Amino acid sequence: MRYKVLYRGTLSSCNYSCEYCPFAQTKASEKAMQEDKAALERFTKWLDSQNNQFEIFFTPRGEALMYPYYRKVISELSWKNNIDKVVIQTNFSCDTKWIESCNVNKTAFWLTYHPEEVKAESFANKCIKLNRVGIKYSVGVVGIKEHFDSIRKMRVLLPDDTYLWINAFKRSDDYYNGKEIEFLVSIDPLFRHNLEYYDSFGKSCKTGYDVFAVEGNGDIKRCHFSEELLGNISSHTLDQTSKKRPCTTQTCHCHIGYVYLEHLELNKVYGNGILERIPKAEEKIVLQRANKEVIKDKLKIKDAHDFEKDKL
């Protein structure tokens, strides 16, 4: 059987200081890094011992690619026969040279753009390097109002076929007015999906069946938002824990959770790009291209393709 596994290690550390993130500007101690490295090694050894196919999604508390051992593991996993895909959430502040060692057919990135921390042109140029080597990726940004101009600019700078998604800022129910929602939908046609808090209790969900979350201590859970313990990789296989089970949380509002609620049928939207958050529907890209030309003309700025292109 093929499983999607969301892995979140013990580390909580980030080199950015975004006010909307709970992991902002936290630095791990040497002891914490060694514990996290050991946990990651246990996880990869467990993967090696299993007779299943896996798609692995690293969802760290903060920024993991600061640490060489994560870059090494991603590269190694991308070449293993029982790994069909390896994806990581990252702010992409790391050096890109290491990507040369990855299997481009199995490696993908969920990139997050943080306007206060990096220049738009610099970030977009790094993204274009991924296009050049053939690695799939999406780019996302938190939709706070202070980011709107940066969102417009990033849509211009990114290649036409790069999906730019927006995470709704949900700290207040009435944060956006109608025109603001329309603007964000014009950039990300799927934005309304992320605006919602979905009633999930008792609903059918793929988590716990062919999608699982594994914590750094080895605990197996159905997802990152459920406290229900299904086992531990030290003593369980996913085949032993896999079964269809209804959701036990009242609501679900995070993309990496609600995307597996079966009644939403978002698998039809994302297809094989569900981990890296790349929609398969061509009309989404067409909408982005049309909007991009309007914004580009308005801003009168260069397309990222015109910038100097450095080699990886």
The per-residue pLDDT for range 270-303, each reduced to its tens digit, is: 999 999 999 986 545 555 665 666 566 556 555 5
Beta strand pairing status for 2-8 and 204-205?
A: unpaired
Q: Which domain holds residue 90?
A: 2-195+205-245+262-306
Let me know if residue 9 belongs to a domain.
Answer: yes
Percent helix / strand / coil, the chain, rounded to 5: 35, 20, 40
Q: How far apart are CA 81 and CA 272, in angstroms?
A: 18
pLDDT reported for residue 170 = 87
Question: Is residue 177 one of the residues assigned to a domain?
Answer: yes
Residue 284 and residue 227 in contact, taking contact as beta carbons nearer than 8 Å: no
Strand, helix or coil for residue 14: coil
DSSP structure string for 93-116: -S-SGGGGGS-TTTEEEEEE--TT
Query: How many independent structural domains does the chain possess?
Result: 1
Residue 197 · residue 172 · CB < 8 Å: no
Q: Of 16-25, 50-59, 60-69, 104-113, which gets the smallest average pLDDT?
A: 16-25
Q: What is the pLDDT of residues 159-209, one digit of tens each?
A: 989 999 999 998 888 899 999 999 999 999 999 999 999 999 999 999 999
CATH (domain of 52): 3.20.20
Is 46 domain-assigned?
yes
Domain-located, residue 20: yes
> Looking at the domain assignment, is residue 68 inside a domain?
yes
Q: What is the pLDDT of residue 285?
A: 56
The answer to whether position 312 is within a domain reads no
The pLDDT value recorded for residue 73 is 98
- Domain membership of residue 251 (yes or no) is no
For the ranges 18-22, 56-60, 219-223, 225-229, which has the lowest average pLDDT? Answer: 18-22
Q: Based on C-alpha coordinates, what's the Rg of the chain? A: 19
Contacts of 135 (CB under 8 A, 6+ apart): 99, 102, 104, 107, 108, 109
pLDDT at 307 > cutoff 50:
no
106-130 residue pLDDT tens = 999 999 999 999 999 999 999 999 9
